[in-house]
Structure 1
């Protein structure tokens, strides 16, 4: 039996001696399928480094390694007032952020607006009108009767976009359930600016950013040891600072080789050829039945969107391959509904503190109309632990690959996203995987520490707007399109 070893975070004391042999065999099968040992982690990271490097070349690869045109970290002395617009999947958030004269300090005022469901499949004009409505409401409420000059806006647009300039971005494809005609393949900045101008709003887009890049910059503003920004949530991604000389696809621009530029990896697409990832048959089913088979291989094994579905497929597999082994003479029809369970279902099972797993029993009854026996509860508990542990260990591979590529021996990593902040033991399991991959001695403290990030899509967006204006003032105009407009913000 392949175990997880004593170094993994302790769980509540189970009573496996009460589990019958046929269920113990099932647990053993799951352990063999889902356990990712040290050798496999190292193999994944070696391939990951090659894929990161390939993405920086002209030919590219699975991982896009998008150039963001954020050229350098903040130094903590940035000042001024900036707007931040965060267009997420569910909410639209508008923030006003004042970077104060105290180093690394800021004040924030914010409002949240619900994205109407019909907007997701509406028209482009309706989308931009709605965003302008929210910005107008915010300005009118917080700056009533003030005569404002132009406010620089950092726009967090967390959808895959190609950026040749920091103040521009062409939407590659909609995600998060959006499907608005006439936006894919287009620059999203001009239509927003046109509607702001029509309404006479004193707002100019200074930077279009991804939330991962924002996380990197916001975290580094308050912590100079922060070198990587990560999202572990519905999706997975990371951003880090690269030297222009190490980005062959920028060679034609003649920029200084030592100039830093933030790279938005978009590495959910790592190993789409499935060379090193330890896929189970459940991962194969998820990919086959997804809207885009063959894409986002890494994301489908690690992101919050898929963890509950992996768990559900594993239980359905037992029902179909060993009839009568579990949930005997119970109605299991609800369990057969795809994506009925999300990552919080597994998190709740793992957090159940009771020896007899009372909370897990209630969860199964409430969500699935199934009443598992005590041995069945022990099995589902172990299955949840295995899936959660695999996700955390694989997630650490992306961080380890960036550290390996950049020869970073020690740093802080700013992380955001629901899986990182809410899934039990995720942080500790990821830390343990980093120890194994990077070969730290047992007595050494963690050299690469993943910690909760600052607000990347709010504070990060404002900071990137501030950094952009700072370099316009200094005459560094690389990756800026509307230079004259930018100068009006100074």
Structure 2
């Protein structure tokens, strides 16, 4: 729980500014009782997603049948279409939980592609693949094509593991000609057009990939989670507990589920939205969608901070009537900025504010900014615990490792502690516990290693004659 202003650093503030700051802090505080209420609704929406298509939380079937043995081997190419970059890897799995050899290259996505059309997207991917293949001397022999795993970190429904119909773009993408279409088929088409020596084996979500990659080395992995540009989780469900799935697989068959729970509470039943959250949603490319993500994910935390600071500025309470044009620029501030303001030495944070906003900032104003950064980041971390808590309650999970990836989890130094404290509050862990029964671990590379391991698992299934959920 975010602590009150009076118990933080002593700040000599005018009464009006102090009152406004305390009001903002109270808006962002999420009590234990509220966390439990959110988790209860979360569990309800998770179950609804398993029962029927078209539910708020999609609970996408992935056709990844369980977790890896750790013995998978082979050489694979993977591509990851993220929110900012296109990443390509050549991965060599050696089995026996041995070290993995990975060579990679990252290509920056041109901003125009994010709001362009499908042809621009696939041409860019094909051009990048061609360059990667040449630089790593992957021989173009169509009779000896390397298996390709495609990490596609957007909500997609899958009738098979090498198939994926995009439901909606997230992370600020709005590319024409892909929504409602099979993204895997579009990639296969461009591979064929270019004669690239690759065969798409699996379309993978990064969250499922993080879970599988981590389980490849750590058998105690129970959930894969992404706390980064977006937020999401994956876990393993029994086929018999997925009423919407019609399949010939035995009921006790394990199936990885990609929750896509960034859309939790789109109906705004329980999430404690502030006017800043409402503003972000209204001005986003997809108003009314991804409600949970817009309050907790890295893409939005810096923007929430900017809006709260702008509110104080426009109220005449900070920055003393300076022309703060930079403060009016949407998404000018990112989560890395937010983390720095909270965790760097005060003078460093002051310099960071001045350079980024192009204004003069006092030390007390820096302390105000730090307090805003603290309460916003703390709320995000506490909300992020609710999705994992809901999965654990639904499945009766009492111990294990939550493999977490993403910039917020990895780069904000206080995220994991805040997340763990909130999880303990929700699940009623004893306060005098010596250690947490469920701990957050650093996820292995889901988009690279995870996509490779899933490709290996898929090929093993094909070779074993189990082709349920594989288009070919």
Coarse TM-score class (shorter-chain normalised): over 0.9
Aligned to 1:51: 45
Q: CA distance change for structure 1 residues 319 and 128 in 2, over 3 Å: closer, same or farther? A: closer
Q: CA distance change for structure 1 residues 129 and 288 in 2, over 3 Å: closer, same or farther? A: closer
Q: CA distance change for structure 1 residues 197 and 336 in 2, over 3 Å: closer, same or farther? A: closer
Shift of 1:23: 3.0
Aligned to 1:450: 440
CA contact (8 A) 1:20 1:375 kept: no
Whether 1:128 aligns to 2:122 is: yes
CA contact (8 A) 1:23 1:379 kept: no
Aligned to 1:185: 180
SS at match of 2:97: coil
Structure 2: tracts of 5 or more residues without a match: none
Aligned to 1:275: 269
Structure 1: tracts of 5 or more residues without a match: 483-490
Moved more, 199-208 or 296-305: 199-208
Shift of 1:345: 2.2
Aligned length: 469
CA contact (8 A) 2:138 2:197 kept: no
SS at match of 1:229: strand
Whether 1:263 aligns to 2:257 is: yes
Moved more, 30-39 or 404-413: 30-39
Aligned to 1:4: 3
Partners of 1:145 and 1:174 lie apart in 2 by 34
Aligned to 1:485: none
CA contact (8 A) 2:158 2:164 kept: yes
Q: How does 1:55-134 map to 2 (within 5 A)?
A: 55-134=49-128
Partners of 1:47 and 1:467 lie apart in 2 by 34
Q: CA distance change for structure 1 residues 15 and 319 in 2, over 3 Å: closer, same or farther? A: same
Aligned to 1:22: 16
- TM-score, normalised by the number of residues in structure 2: 0.93
Q: CA distance change for structure 1 residues 384 and 51 in 2, over 3 Å: closer, same or farther? A: same
SS at match of 1:339: coil
Aligned to 2:405: 416
Moved more, 213-222 or 173-182: 173-182
Can you list the C-alpha shifts for 1:13-45, whole angstroms capped at 9, x where unaligned? 7233x3343333223212211111111111111
Aligned to 1:462: 452
Aligned to 1:435: 424
Report the RMSD for the aligned CA atoms in angstroms: 2.3
Partners of 2:330 and 2:191 lie apart in 1 by 42
Q: CA distance change for structure 1 residues 333 and 117 in 2, over 3 Å: closer, same or farther? A: closer
Shift of 1:433: 0.5
Q: How does 1:387-406 map to 2 (within 5 A)?
A: 387-406=376-395
Shift of 1:287: 1.6
CA contact (8 A) 2:171 2:299 kept: no
Shift of 1:85: 1.5
Q: CA distance change for structure 1 residues 341 and 200 in 2, over 3 Å: closer, same or farther? A: closer
